[in-house]
Structure 1
Amino acid sequence: MEQEFKQGYRMHRVLSNLNRLDVDRLDDADRERVETARGLLEEVSLLTRPSDGAGADAHADS
């Protein structure tokens, strides 16, 4: 459980840091990379929420 907490915290920190970037100062390619990273982190965050813990455990056992 502690490992899951650490991973969730790290994802939250990375997403927070990405959200703080001033994307207006980036070139188009970097702006696209930041948006892609944000989207992926938000998607992973939705999949790893504690409320889905039972489903994740069942999936890991299969």
Structure 2
Amino acid sequence: MDQQFKQGYWMHRVLSNLNRLDVDRLDDADRERVETARDFLEEVSLRTRPSDGAGMDAHADS
């Protein structure tokens, strides 16, 4: 499996799991940690999402 695909897959899995948490049952500190982690993962996802069929950090070797 391609390394970039693996990283995207795991990032998606973590974000999905964070979104499934019942944050209403957490204390304030844990709720804030979940929100921070969710924000970071969404930001990374937006930065690495291909807009033209190629990743933003893909480089042409020619």
Percent identity between matched residues is: 81
Unaligned stretches of 5+ residues in structure 2: none
TM score, norm. by length of structure 2: 0.82
| Aligned Cα root-mean-square deviation (Å) | 1.9
- Whichever structure has more helix as a proportion of its residues is 1
Unaligned stretches of 5+ residues in structure 1: none
- How many positions carry a matched residue from both structures? 58
TM score, norm. by length of structure 1: 0.82
After TM superposition, the runs of 4+ consecutive aligned structure 1 residues lying more than 3 A away are none
Distance apart, 1:57 and its partner CA: 2.6
Compare relative contact order (CA 8 Å, sep 6+) and give the higher one, 1 or 2. 1
